Structure 1
Amino acid sequence: MKATYSNQEMSAEVAQMLAKEDKRVTTGKVIFLVATIAVLIFSYRQSELNFPLLLQRGGNMVEYTRSYFPPDFSYWQTYLEDTIITISMGIWGTLLAAIAAVPLSVLASENVCPVWIVQPTRRLLDAMRAINEIVFALVFVVAVGLGPFAGVMALFVHTAGALGKLFSEAVEAIEPGQVEGVRATGASKIQEIIFGIIPQVIPLWTSFTLYRFESNVRAASVLGIVGAGGIGVSLYQSFQSFDYGKVCAILIILILATSIIDTISAKLRNSLV
């Protein structure tokens, strides 16, 4: 009887503990829900969202958009050459960023490096990612002058921060078994990374890099506004002169170029992942 009574007491104790745990979980969910609603309301007010005003004045946008047509393709060869420069900027900005992001991502991964290395590296990546490409382009224009090189460097720095973050998340999500197998052979830390980690993350890294390349081509198209080369120069000049037909032609060429890049990138990603 004594043993049975003890078991009953233990069962009651376990039930009470589970009830308390459920209560804590429920309370946490309610707090999270209330906090989320509060943040949404606050950000709604800060953003000054006014959808009725948008509907009321939507006709102004229609009238403005009509001024873009018909497109003026009289300088299409120049625009095409500038677009090729823009794509080239995207290629090199992304390539340099991917190369730099590999060691940075390893240093930012908690399952590879100690916290005193991880945290400073993550803050560096945050800074690189938080500052817009146009700001970096202004800095590099001062250093290297007007032209695509400044745009490439701006894309490189910003994209290295973004890819470093994405790459490190992929490293932290790896299966540890392969790394432990390499370690069991007496391999060094570098060999563990080369043979245990990188083979697992290469497909994801490649996919992330292709996504960023698409984004960088779009970003490079506006860097010309600050003198960093590419189609952005022609786009800015056309806007300044209110020559919206030329603006429309440039935008159409950019849309076509982006669509082609997206199609090719999608096929590459599907073959790798």
Structure 2
Amino acid sequence: MSAPDPGLPLGRQAFQANWSGRIAFGALVVYTIYAASHLGFSWDRFVTGLGQGGTFLARMFPPDFERTQLLVDGMVESLQIAILSSFFGILLSLPVGLLAARNLMPPWVTWPARTIIALCRSFHPIIIAILFVKAVGFGALAGVLALIVGSIGFVGKLFAEAIEEISLKQVEAVRATGAPFLNVLIMAVQPQVLPRFIGFATYQLDSNLRNSTMVGIVGGGGIGATLFTAYQRFDYDYVLAILIVTVAMIMVAEVLSGWIRKAFQ
């Protein structure tokens, strides 16, 4: 029998049981089972869905690329929506994120800015797109406005957090020279947050490329509208062609965004 560890207090184990964590995990498992039982989940339904899914996938092959012009027009419009929404969304998120930084701004400035960010982050882009479709009608304008709101919420929050994590020594050193606030931002804040901001911007462009497809389904223009129309007409082979082109565009954008991030690191 081994002797107790002299480095531990008498009667204390080296690895004590975390009963609070065990109870929380057990409660989570019980609630998961309870929620699943009230949402109509069943094994028979899952098996039936697999069969129907296989039939659906079989009808998608081979993909139909004959309507090339319609496909190209939809992808070009989605790309335009993503670029415009990313440009204006990131541009507007700069002052909002700066005003939300608590290490540079007083509370009476940060709270309204953080409220704007929270409101922009509260709803999915599809919900915002539905609101803008009702406001400005069907088309790309509704999609652009919806993704601008989403961009402000995402980039504004991350930009504010990046500013709050900077070293204040450089800020204080520039302030000691008597430089105005704008020069402090350019000389002390901007060099510290620029690489991270480039990463935020490129990621948001990727996100808007994906979301431009979703907002089109509810009337926000782009390839999403073409995809929804093809699905309603049971043109599943054309649906597959749209999905293939969409995935290819996202992969190209991912490669380009990675190259941009490396260029600014």
TM-aligned CA distance change 1:59 to 1:265, over 3 Å: same
Give the counterpart letter for 1:164 in structure 2: G
- Residue type of the partner of 2:179? A
**What is the number of equivalent residue pairs in this alignment?**
249
Q: Which moved more, 1:187-196 or 1:73-82?
A: 187-196
1:193 aligns with one of 185, 188, 194: 185
Pairing partner for 2:163 from 159, 171, 183: 171
Question: 2:60 aligned with 1:71, yes or no?
Answer: no
Aligned-residue offset at 1:80: 1.4
Q: Deviations over 1:156-210 (max 9, x none)?
A: 0111111111111111111112111111111233332232112211111111111
Q: Which residue of 1 aligns with 2:87?
A: 95
Deviation at 1:39, TM superposition (A): 4.5
- Structure 1 residue 148: Cα displacement: 0.9
Deviates more, 1:173-182 or 1:56-65: 56-65
Spell out the pairing of 1:135-174 with structure 2 (5 A cutoff). Answer: 135-174=127-166
Percent identity of equivalent pairs: 33
Tell me whether 1:46 sits opposite 2:38 in the alignment: no
Distance of aligned partners of 1:253 and 1:44 in 2 relative to their CA distance in 1, 3 Å threshold: farther
Partner of 1:203 in structure 2? Answer: 195
Show the counterpart of 1:131. 123
What root-mean-square deviation, in Å, do the aligned CA atoms of Structure 1 and Structure 2 show? 2.5
Q: After TM superposition, give the deviation of residue 110 of structure 1 in Å.
A: 1.5
CA distance in 2, matches of 1:60, 1:93: 38
- Cα distance per residue 1:48-67 (max 9 Å; x no partner): 59695686343332222111
- Deviates further, 246-255 or 112-121: 112-121
CA pair 144-70 structure 1, distance change in 2 beyond 3 A = same
Q: Could you say if the C-alpha distance between residues 109 and 40 of structure 1 is closer, same or farther in structure 2, counting changes exceeding 3 Å?
A: farther
Question: 2:143 and 2:71 mapped to 1: Cα distance?
Answer: 17
Q: Is the 8 A contact 1:105 1:167 kept in 2?
A: yes
With 207-216 and 111-120 compared, the bigger mean Cα shift is at: 111-120
Equivalent residues in 2 for 1:1-273, closer than 5 Å: 31=20, 34-35=23-24, 38-39=27-28, 41-42=30-31, 45-46=34-35, 56-57=47-48, 58-273=50-265
- Paired amino acid for 1:61: G
Distance 1:34 1:108, change over 3 A: farther
* Displacement of 1:272: 1.7
Q: SS state of the match for residue 146, structure 1? A: coil
TM-score by length of 2: 0.84
For the structure 1 residues 192 and 53, does the alpha-carbon distance in structure 2 shift closer, same or farther, using more than 3 Å as the test?
farther
Most deviating of 130-139 and 262-271: 130-139
Specify the alignment match of 1:14 in structure 2.
none
Structure 2 counterpart of 1:3 = none
CA contact (8 A) 1:80 1:253 kept: no
What's the TM-score once normalised by structure 1's chain length?
0.82
Q: CA deviation at 1:137?
A: 1.8
- How far is the alpha carbon of 1:81 from its aligned partner? 1.8
**For 2:45 and 2:171, how far apart are their aligned partners in 1?**
55
Deviation of the 1:77 alpha carbon: 2.1
Distance 1:53 1:258, change over 3 A: farther
Deviates more, 1:213-222 or 1:129-138: 129-138
Structure 1 residues without counterparts, runs of 5 or longer? 1-18, 20-25
Structure 2 residue runs of 5 or longer lacking an equivalent are 1-8, 10-15
Give 1:42's aligned amino acid.
Answer: Y
State the 1:125 CA deviation. Answer: 0.8
Between structures 1 and 2, the one with greater helix share: 1
Change (3 A) 1:105 1:31: farther
**Aligned partner of residue 60 in structure 2, secondary structure:** coil
Relative distance call for 1:216 and 1:40 in structure 2 (3 A) is farther
